[in-house]
Amino acid sequence: MNNHPNKSVEYIDLGVIDYQKAWDYQTELFDAVVQIKIENRRNEATILTRNYLLFCEHPHVYTLGKSGSEDNLLVDDDKLKEIEATYYKINRGGDITYHGPGQVVAYPILDLDNFFTDIHKYLRLLEEAVILTLKEYNIEAGRITGLTGVWLDHVDQKNPRKICALGVKSSRWVTMHGLAFNINTDLDYFKNIVPCGIDDKAVTSLAAELGQPQDIEKVKMELKKKNAELFEMDLTI
């Protein structure tokens, strides 16, 4: 653990941004933090590492994690062009997912040495931030054993619905990638994949559950607040 942990986290809203551009930016921040940690160890130094919380939306895109199967993309290149979607194989965990307009995507670039060195706890707190945000909308959400993400009807499971997907990468306790929270998302785009490789459960959004479009900026504000509280972040804008 860091002798002098830095819990200051810089919040950056990237707005609507191309997936590749956001991935490159994440990678740039991630690599810089990792490099400081390497130099600290090499030189027995204690230069503070920085932390970031990036929020954004993406144009229509499908991303496949390292452990995923290409068979879970159900459309060909021609169909992707027709629906104006792109497709990337990426370096996070998990299977295939969809990002698009109306979805809040959060990318925490955190040095967990500044917080706690436990990836399981990290994932559970990301889920908890979404669960607590949904509680503000009087929606009960939770987890399903053996599956990542946040689910509705997670107890009885008569019609379990996933509202938030998770997929992360970490190296030297530095994180990247993160979560995708469906707010006003066009759920039809999920019909072109087997979401997260799970073919027997549905996908939903906050708008679908409440019956009308929601203020995405308000959701971001709540999600940002819940993350700051759970991780005990000193959040700066």
Query: Helix, strand or coil for residue 172?
Result: coil
DSSP state of 66: T
Nearest CA to 76 out of 67, 68, 85 is that of 85
Active-site position among 168, 196, 208, 223: 196
| DSSP states of 123-160 | HHHHHHHHHHHHHTTT--EEEETTEEEEEESTTT-SS-
User: In this structure, is the dihedral angle defined by the CA atoms of residues 66, 68, 71 and 76, taken in order, positive or negative?
Assistant: negative
Count Cα atoms within 13 angstroms, Cβ side, for 26: 30
Contact 9, 237 (CB under 8 A): no
- CA-to-CA separations, 39 to 19, 31, 171, 176, 211, in angstroms, rounded: 30, 12, 15, 20, 52
CA 67, distance to chain mean position in Å, is 17
CA–CA distance, 95 with 16 (Å, rounded to integer): 23
Residue 196 a catalytic site member? yes
Active site residues: 196
